[in-house]
Amino acid sequence: MSFYPPSLVNLIKQLSKLPGIGEKTAERLALHILRGSVKDAQALAESISEAKETVRLCSVCYGLADSDPCHICRDATRDQDVVCVVEQGTDMVALEKSGAFKGRYHVLQGCLSPMNGVGPDNLRIRELVERLKKGKIKEVVVATGTSVEGESTANYLRQVLEGSGVKVTRIASGVPIGGDLKYTDALTLKRALDSRHCL
């Protein structure tokens, strides 16, 4: 490594801190940046600083935002009665991409995971309860993942929100669209059968 100029060695070191980027890949990326134009390198450097400076958590929904409240929480055309609870900001983006939800969100910033020391106090559950107390919200759609942690977070939320007068629902789980039954795992098939509905 010491055969490269120190500033290049430093760039390789910084790039290799990124997830999934080893030393060899970092070397390749660094040399690509050096081969490119000064303008491209500056654009990359500035986009990192700018994103880090401007992107904050929305104080209402705790999603990624560059304004507070975020554009979804500010949007008066969206359904204000329904709040969708998700684990991460990326889950919110996935739901937005689907275009299937027109209400607002609440990002927990994780899910219950005693193994990793994540308890209810580490998530934005208290903030959700506070939000519900304001009385505008009539339904909470729990859209945490269908992993063990996601399911137990959903169950915990059901207990916490019981008696709050708010309807608590859970997204359906079952065979994915386009999925082949023979490749679907037993647990998913069991869930799909349990949740069967009239045609």
For a second copy, the closer CB: 105 or 156: 105
- Count Cβ neighbours within 10 Å for each residue of 40-66 and write b for 16 or more, e otherwise: eeeeeeeeeeeeeeeeebbebbbbbbe
User: Quick check: 6 binds a second copy (CB under 8 A)?
Assistant: yes
Separation CA 87–CA 153 (nearest Å): 9
Separation CA 182–CA 185 (nearest Å): 8
Separation CA 24–CA 105 (nearest Å): 40
Q: What tokens does 152 get?
A: 């137990």
Among 23, 51, 147, 176, interactor with a second copy by CB under 8 A: 51
**Contact positions with a second copy (CB under 8 A) in 89-128:** 89-90, 92-93, 96-97
User: Quick check: 77 binds a second copy (CB under 8 A)?
Assistant: no
For a second copy, the closer CB: 41 or 129: 41
Q: Kindly state the smallest distance separating residue 70's Cβ from a second copy, in Å.
A: 8
The footprint of a second copy (CB under 8 A) covers: 3-8, 10-11, 13-15, 17-21, 25, 27-34, 38, 40-55, 64-67, 70, 89-90, 92-93, 96-97
